[in-house]
Amino acid sequence: MRLVMVGSGYVGLVSGVCFADFGHDVVCVDKDPAKIARLKNGEVPIFEPGLDTMLEANMRAGRLSFTTDLTEAARDADAIFVAVGTPTRRGDGHADLTYVYEATREIAVLAAENAVIVTKSTVPVGTGDEVERILREVRPGANISVVSNPEFLREGAAIEDFKRPDRIVIGTDSDHARYVMTEIYRPLYINQGPLLFVSRRTSELIKYAANAFLAMKITFINEMADLCEKLDADVQDVARGIGLDNRIGAKFLHAGPGYGGSCFPKDTLALVKTAQDAKSPTRLIETVVEVNGRRKKRMAEKIIAACGGSVAGKRIAVLGLAFKPNTDDMRDAPSLDIIPALQAAGAEVIAYDPESMEQARQVLNVGFAEGPYDCIEGADALVIITEWNAFRALDLKRVKASLKSPVVVDLRNIYRPQEMKALGFTYHGIGRGA
């Protein structure tokens, strides 16, 4: 089938490349000429493992192309996916749908008769209704269907998630749209990716509800970690003990400095605002948002306490800046709260991340090292914020020799306390008691 992806950011690019790899003819559209020029040269502007290789292969095969011209791309397309950004709107916390509605007005003029317009962007409940209203206003009488098809991609594992999904949610009441969407995802039949057909509004809510629930699990285990520190218990054992219960599950029960990224902060806040507008407040999610924001700020206090109560004039080495490993995404990363707080307390911060330093330079004013050991050399303390694999097997004897004082604050619990203490470190993890 001929597919168009409007928006070549994270979701649009990953989806477009994966659809092309299924054998569809895909055109990715973006208004940023510099981004399109890079993509045409095979340069991927985001870090996602395996995406560059897959992109090049499908471009060579002639199934994937990039353009700034929506007019040409939309001609004869079976489905046009809207995958533009929906950032949090300043002032009220709602999702900003400006780009979605702008794209809709352009598509309405250009789409072929019987085309299917698919909202891939994360949007509040009722957005599809407004998209359809705009289509009918601009193109009265056109037989164009509007579908909700939210994405459930984890950054760092997006290709695997797309090709082996837990579920594919499709919101539509149109038989034609149902047929088109079934054909688009037919290549996943061998992997038995379940297609869940629901109403459009239900589909929109599923996306927000899923992310809010996962954010709630993370926040829950983080609060348990705080309790473990007070009661001299081990949060990792607590997580294993409850995660083995099939009703709970082990995923998203890893204590840390708080969730970040492009989805959870934005989507939980948008759900809270949507629920408040509907006069059906989600008190649990409101608390999750509040607790997570407070937790990221408290991590700096934890580091300062580990350094004897003051970091004034001290050099702090930070390993990991992105909100999670295997991505260069800095959006709402805990490091963006922790590092400025340390600097405000008088610390000099030097940092290293395997992939996100180009992005970090735009939002952090710190020294950047060329590698983990360069970062650690001469520091008064080491702080691990992101659990990259490259940090899991550091030469601990070399680390200790490089530090002025053997203070390690491990905000991801990637090292064993007993081993660290045996080597002479003053080690502080998350939720591990004394």
Active site residues: 263
Distance CA 158, CA 260 (A): 17
How far is it, in rounded angstroms, from Cα 170 to Cα 181?
8
* Phi, psi of 193, rounded to the nearest 5 degrees: -70, 115
Residue 64 CA to residue 13 CA, distance in Å, equals 11
Q: Using CA atoms, how far apart are residues 78 and 114, in angstroms rounded to an integer?
A: 8
The H or E element containing residue 11 is: helix 10-21
Query: SS in 3 state form for 20-64?
Result: HHCCCEEEEECCCHHHHHHHHCCCCCCCCCCHHHHHHHHHHCCCE
- What CA–CA distance (Å, rounded) separates 58 from 112? 25
Measured CA to CA, the distance from residue 149 to residue 131 in angstroms comes to 14
Looking from the CA of 18 toward its CB, the CA atoms found within 13 Å total: 23
| Partner residues linked to 29 by β-bridges | 6, 67
Q: How far apart are CA 267 and CA 245, in angstroms?
A: 27
What is d(CA 141, CA 346) in angstroms, rounded to the nearest whole number? 65
Q: Which of 428, 378, 433 is nearest to 408 (CA)?
A: 428
> HSE (CB half, 13 Å, CA atoms) of 133?
6
68-89: b (≥16 Cβ within 10 Å) or e: eebeebbeebbbbbbbbbbebe
